[in-house]
Chain A
């Protein structure tokens, strides 16, 4: 049955509900979609009987969609978690925290500390800042996350129990190499900051840190997808 094309806000709302309910169990997904469809219809009918202008109604619907997005996403996560055993949910949360710590928090903190130390310039201060940072990051990660045996390498190779495990040693070397590269990057970055005046320097620094965080997150996300794809391919070829 082809009726007239629904107005844009309705299509946007339906598109959004289709996105955040995708992959959920059929019953849950269909119920949420049907409930929203009914809500949009009632809203449109009410607006029409109140003689409300199309623009005002469109803004209302659009606003309701946007303001509810965070709750929609939380609802989705809750639905997904409801289908899994509690231990699995906790383990996933721990791994996510570890990942965030290793690839977003640690690099951003390291970059900030190193940059600050670089401007105060003595080699001793720089080494001191690095040592303090190593210890703080290692302790924080152990306290917050605990030992997580995942594939993500710890920045700077800070691993309290590195031991003689070849995998762990490889990560340690990888971390040390990352530290070296980071130092070079910080040096180059610091040079670009010199000509800037103080207020601009702060804005530049904040923007750069945010960009770095986003960049690292995107790279890690891509990496995760590639790993999954490889795993799936291995699984298929093993069948």
Chain B
């Protein structure tokens, strides 16, 4: 089934919600695994989001202007002895999109707001 242009799927809406929560908690920037882990805890799910599903959704949100991303400084990563992280951050447009989205119950992925409405 082809999805309408500008429509958010529940996973994308949930990712935005986690991004906003992280920002409110003083962690505005997050990497892919961190958001997958937060999402699993928030939704009380048993499994982490699959790689392909997660990164496709993040990319789509970025293309829609709801998230931005950049690669962290390689020196920081090297100092901590780990690979470089791609850091995402929710934009003002993303926050507005989420604010207009229908409320959801805990443990349930949200419904489908329209990006075009933002």
The residues of A with any CB-CB pair to B shorter than 8 Å are: 13, 17, 31-32, 34-39, 41-43, 45-46, 60, 63-75
Contact = CB atoms under 8 A, between A and B. Distances in A.
Given A34-B84, A37-B83, A75-B56, A67 B50 contact: yes
Given A38-B83, A64-B48, A75-B59, A43 B54 contact: no
Given A35-B55, A67-B50, A70-B52, 8 more contacts: A17-B51, A39-B32, A39-B36, A60-B47, A60-B48, A64-B49, A69-B52, A75-B52
Contact of A38 (B31, B48, B50, B53): B31
A67 B55 CA distance: 13
8 contacts: A17-B51, A32-B55, A38-B82, A39-B36, A43-B48, A63-B47, A63-B50, A69-B52
Interface residues of B, number: 23
Contacts of A37: 83
A75 B83 contact: no
Contacts of A36: 51, 55
Given A34-B86, A35-B86, A38-B86, A46 B53 contact: no
Contacts of A34: 71, 83-84, 86
Contacts of A71: 50, 52-53, 56
A67 B53 contact: yes
Contacts of A60: 47-48
A60 B45 CA distance: 13
A38 to B, nearest CB: 4
B42 interface: no
B32 A68 contact: no
B82 A68 contact: no
B64 to A, nearest CB: 14
Interface in B71-86: 71, 82-86
Given A35-B86, A75-B59, A42 B34 contact: yes
